Amino acid sequence: MSDQDQFDDIPGTYLFDRHRSRQGYHLNMFFFSLMKPENREAFLADEEGYLDGFPMTPEQRKGVLERDWLGMIKLGGNVYYMSKFGATLGRSFQYMAGAMSGVTQEEYADMMKAGGRSIDGNRSKSEEN
């Protein structure tokens, strides 16, 4: 079993390995470009036009435009680079984590304060059988 397969067995775990790194290269270069103020301004002024400069897959482009945070992770996005995108939009890391978890920012904060996500249903898929 490869490292990827081992982690894919755990619900909600998307290992950023060499495969996802290659898959998400152009997506992550878009995120990284947002470190420069002039690029953030250009993106916010014309999102689709700015994205034309990055040869992403249609699914990655859709993820960006629809703010599909978890989808971008699954498509090779690096969460640390993606945080540049969140900051460009005025979104905190906590907001993004909540969205990836299917809850609001406030619900995510409350869950973390209460000790985190329950382990029920979040163990190895193969152990369920």
pLDDT digits (tens, 9 = 90+) for 58-79: 999 999 999 999 999 999 999 9
Q: What is the DSSP letter of 127?
A: G
Q: Does residue 120 form part of some domain?
A: no
Q: Give the percent of the chain with pLDDT over 90.
A: 61
Q: Does residue 100 form part of some domain?
A: no
pLDDT at 85: 97
Domain count, the chain: 1
pLDDT at 91: 95
Give residue-wise pLDDT tens across range 9-31. 766 778 888 888 899 999 999 99
CATH number reported for the structural domain that contains residue 33 in this entry: 1.10.700.10
Domain region containing 48: 3-91
CA 38, CA 89: separation in Å to the nearest integer? Answer: 14
Q: Does residue 86 form part of some domain?
A: yes
Q: Does residue 122 form part of some domain?
A: no
Residue 123 predicted with pLDDT over 90: no
Q: Does residue 59 form part of some domain?
A: yes
CA 32, CA 115: separation in Å to the nearest integer? Answer: 32
Q: Does residue 106 form part of some domain?
A: no
| Signed CA dihedral, 60, 63, 68, 71: sign only | negative
Q: Does residue 26 form part of some domain?
A: yes
Rg (CA), the chain: 16
| pLDDT greater at residue 101 or residue 4 | 101
Listed range (46-50, 70-74, 86-90, 111-115) with the worst mean pLDDT: 111-115
Q: Does residue 62 form part of some domain?
A: yes
Amino acid 15 reads: L
Q: Model-level pTM greater than 0.85?
A: no
